[in-house]
A and B are shown apart, each in its own frame.
Chain A
């Protein structure tokens, strides 16, 4: 193979690799109803969406006082075109959490840990954070498994953590200013609209389907919003677990609204 062919092969590989990353982004919402949301709109004297085979143009005409103004604390985007900014979404989570203390296989016990997730977005409609496990039950070892936490009422988190002495449970509760109402509590009951976010309350279980744990309808850029995910495992004192390292693989997904 001569040098020209080598160059061709390298270029081709790079080109294909690049193509793999060409992910077509979805648009942010523009109208709002039960199912939709208006992200931004404009009242003006003209403008339209024009398209050709290869290009698309969206122009406006006659807007008053449009443009960008910024101060130390705020950025003002006035006018339709100013709103069409690049959307940023960033999610930060730890790679591994070890719950402590260790649990006695025959005597049982409670292990506990916190995962701190941080989301940053400039999306005007905010973001939604969801969580899911890769297996059911979520936490397993090579030769044994820990049951998923069981709530007293279906689809409703438990205000207080409770695992029967003869079984085990692995669950979570989110905490933070953006958590869903499902995880807020009012008068010792979870699911209160606009309720409190008391620590160590409103425990839920993992599923392989995503569960929304926090959401915001406004951007938070440049200050990260943290959602603590408290994780807890309990084995009852009449329950038996094989010794070993139990692992759950948890996926956190942040998506713009």
Chain B
């Protein structure tokens, strides 16, 4: 009896008590805020003025000698690896052999004899068999066949760090380094062709590169590198295979505006947005309707056209006033660039309301539950064939397609995301497709752009923080009625920022317990979901323990 009582205290009581504690009177949670400070903007240009150099910004300042007659230390050029650009001789009264100064190239500093009699014939330093017999004269080896001698002409160059990079659909770049000064030659041919094409360097250097143009997509090519030291001692690297891979068509990116947010105010709505490309951004044309989303630049009334007012934080804002509280308004912002080209619109609907209203006014057209505005467009009664699927949409990130698994797409934070619906999968009655992204009660809607081949596409910046978003695709007919809707999940995963989970509460946090429980089983944290599983687990544990006890 005593043991069974303890069973009750240990197993049953937690099940009963823990949910009660959930409803505490204080809830404490923490989050981390991260910002990246960098001395590298990865724009393809090495900018020493903003602190970029090879050590902190290899993406913009790649290591290597570019032989442009300028010594660029920010690219890693030194007078050792880039003698053509960087003068070897730094006249300071000291012969610095470690940076390449010799009596030949820096007689002002190096007054010692060329021949240092160190046992190695240093041809680069000017030692020859005539001026440095001690280092460069090798006792003739009498070959078996007789006659001739052997001279030490230095080691053949070692070919290092070979890299092949595709530049575009027809060109590649091969680059490599050599351990000593060398002049190299590149031969290449289509794999089954008879003849090589050849390119040669005319000077000696440590870094080497060749660009090969006019290659054909899909063909295999074979290359060969020959490098020579200053005494024409040769090394060779054969069977370098390369081919042009077809890169996916980069979809048109909606570089207009982002983070369009509307705030419902008393008899007015304020909007803020941020230009993605501040250079090409000219402004937005705002179309408004009180019963449908304007889906192109000819629908709805023109509410505003212009750049908007810019605030100090870099955002633009605009306020629509004299609205009726409790009435829903539909807005679409069409950004346009310097050339006057309109981009796909961003839509949002807002319900202005006064502060005195305790609850938001419900949309009377869809009682009694409160639905989110964009996805509350009622579906018309229409037979939709074939049935569209969320997986019909292909998501691209960093020019690569992202697989859709169980109606979920996993993407990285802070990158450009493109969504493509192939023309073959577009429903016959479709005139517009609306993509709505729901993120913790916030909604962002885009119209997909129709391409010439009938495909629909939109590109936009992915979310900047870790989150799970719900994505809806709503198919609109020529009356802008919703004929069907598909949905899926967009899981935004952290790309590079380390998550920080400090311990901040003095008393045990049930939420953190639950989150930890979820993490233990690899589950995504959701308050009630976790609790249900925790209770089930305890019940199962109780059941098993009781059975075991009864057997005992």
9 example contacts (A-B, Cβ-Cβ < 8 A) are as follows A25-B25, A96-B31, A102-B38, A105-B51, A116-B440, A200-B317, A223-B359, A248-B33, A250-B31
Residues in chain A near residue B466, CB distance under 8 A = 94-96
Partner among A12, A102, A244, A251 whose Cβ is within 8 Å of the Cβ of B30: A251
C-alpha spacing A139/B26, complex, angstroms = 26
Do B36 and A103 have beta carbons less than 8 Å apart?
A: yes
Partner among A162, A218, A243 whose Cβ is within 8 Å of the Cβ of B38: A243
Residues in chain B near residue A233, CB distance under 8 A = 35
B312 part of interface (Cβ distance < 8 Å): yes
C-alpha spacing A17/B37, complex, angstroms = 44
Partner among A7, A18, A89, A98 whose Cβ is within 8 Å of the Cβ of B23: A89
A20 to chain B: closest residue by CB: B508
Partner among A18, A98, A198, A224 whose Cβ is within 8 Å of the Cβ of B270: A198
B365 part of interface (Cβ distance < 8 Å): no
Residues in chain B near residue A200, CB distance under 8 A = 272, 311-313, 315, 317
A83 part of interface (Cβ distance < 8 Å): no
**Beyond A3-B552, A25-B25, A245-B498, is A252–B31 a contact (Cβ under 8 Å)?**
yes
Residues in chain B near residue A246, CB distance under 8 A = 34-37
Partner among A106, A235, A245, A247 whose Cβ is within 8 Å of the Cβ of B50: A106
Report B256-274 CB contacts with A as 1/0, cut-off 8 Å: 0000010101000010100
Do A21 and B21 have beta carbons less than 8 Å apart?
A: yes
Do A23 and B24 have beta carbons less than 8 Å apart?
A: yes
C-alpha spacing A26/B25, complex, angstroms = 7
- State the Cβ distance, A254 to closest chain B Cβ, in Å: 5
C-alpha spacing A156/B28, complex, angstroms = 25
Q: Which of B9-17, B140-148, B326-334 contacts A (4 or more CB under 8 A)?
A: B9-17
Partner among A3, A139, A197, A242 whose Cβ is within 8 Å of the Cβ of B33: A139
Residues in chain B near residue A243, CB distance under 8 A = 37-40, 56
Do B25 and A134 have beta carbons less than 8 Å apart?
A: no
Do A25 and B10 have beta carbons less than 8 Å apart?
A: no
For window 208-235 of chain A, which residues contact chain B by CB distance below 8 Å? 218, 223-224, 226, 231-233, 235
Partner among B17, B25, B26 whose Cβ is within 8 Å of the Cβ of A21: B17
Question: Known pairs A241-B37, A247-B500, A255-B27. 14 more at Cβ < 8 A?
Answer: A11-B10, A73-B359, A94-B31, A94-B467, A95-B501, A96-B466, A97-B32, A102-B37, A139-B33, A200-B312, A243-B38, A248-B33, A251-B28, A255-B25
B3 part of interface (Cβ distance < 8 Å): yes
Binding site for B on A (CB under 8 A): 3-4, 7-8, 10-15, 17-18, 20-23, 25-26, 28, 72-73, 86-100, 102-107, 110-113, 115-116, 118, 123, 134, 138-139, 141, 144, 146, 160-162, 175, 177, 196-200, 218, 223-224, 226, 231-233, 235, 241-256
- State the Cβ distance, B489 to closest chain A Cβ, in Å: 17
Partner among A10, A25, A97, A146 whose Cβ is within 8 Å of the Cβ of B31: A97
**Beyond A99-B33, A110-B314, A249-B500, is A23–B21 a contact (Cβ under 8 Å)?**
yes
B234 part of interface (Cβ distance < 8 Å): no
Partner among B21, B35, B312, B504 whose Cβ is within 8 Å of the Cβ of A139: B35
B464 part of interface (Cβ distance < 8 Å): yes
Residues in chain B near residue A244, CB distance under 8 A = 36-37
For window 415-473 of chain B, which residues contact chain A by CB distance below 8 Å? 440-442, 464-467
Do B27 and A98 have beta carbons less than 8 Å apart?
A: no
- State the Cβ distance, B551 to closest chain A Cβ, in Å: 11
Tell me how many residues of B have a C-beta within 8 Å of chain A.
74
B499 part of interface (Cβ distance < 8 Å): yes
- State the Cβ distance, B25 to closest chain A Cβ, in Å: 5
C-alpha spacing A102/B441, complex, angstroms = 27
- State the Cβ distance, A10 to closest chain B Cβ, in Å: 7
Do A250 and B10 have beta carbons less than 8 Å apart?
A: no
B264 to chain A: closest residue by CB: A177
Do B414 and A112 have beta carbons less than 8 Å apart?
A: no
Interface of A is mostly: mixed
Do B34 and A97 have beta carbons less than 8 Å apart?
A: yes
Closest 10 interchain pairs by CB?
A: A14-B10, A91-B27, A11-B10, A106-B51, A99-B35, A102-B36, A248-B33, A11-B6, A251-B30, A18-B14
Residues in chain B near residue A91, CB distance under 8 A = 27-29
**Beyond A93-B31, A100-B464, A103-B38, is A256–B25 a contact (Cβ under 8 Å)?**
yes
Do B27 and A86 have beta carbons less than 8 Å apart?
A: no
C-alpha spacing A93/B28, complex, angstroms = 10
Residues in chain A near residue B499, CB distance under 8 A = 95-96
* Residue of A14, A96, A110, A146 most packed against chain B (CB within 10 A): A96
Do A249 and B30 have beta carbons less than 8 Å apart?
A: yes
C-alpha spacing A20/B464, complex, angstroms = 38
Do B494 and A96 have beta carbons less than 8 Å apart?
A: yes
**Beyond A89-B23, A223-B359, A253-B26, is A116–B35 a contact (Cβ under 8 Å)?**
no
* Residue of B30, B270, B272 most packed against chain A (CB within 10 A): B30
C-alpha spacing A113/B494, complex, angstroms = 15
Residues in chain B near residue A231, CB distance under 8 A = 33
Residues in chain B near residue A87, CB distance under 8 A = 23, 25
B497 part of interface (Cβ distance < 8 Å): yes
B30 to chain A: closest residue by CB: A251
Partner among A102, A175, A224 whose Cβ is within 8 Å of the Cβ of B263: A175
C-alpha spacing A100/B29, complex, angstroms = 23
Residues in chain A near residue B11, CB distance under 8 A = 11, 14
A138 to chain B: closest residue by CB: B33
Residues in chain B near residue A177, CB distance under 8 A = 355
B386 part of interface (Cβ distance < 8 Å): no
Do B24 and A103 have beta carbons less than 8 Å apart?
A: no
Do B13 and A18 have beta carbons less than 8 Å apart?
A: yes
Partner among A97, A141, A196 whose Cβ is within 8 Å of the Cβ of B465: A97
Residues in chain B near residue A232, CB distance under 8 A = 313
Residues in chain A near residue B502, CB distance under 8 A = 134, 249
* Residue of A144, A231, A242, A255 most packed against chain B (CB within 10 A): A255
- State the Cβ distance, A3 to closest chain B Cβ, in Å: 7
C-alpha spacing A226/B552, complex, angstroms = 55
B233 part of interface (Cβ distance < 8 Å): no
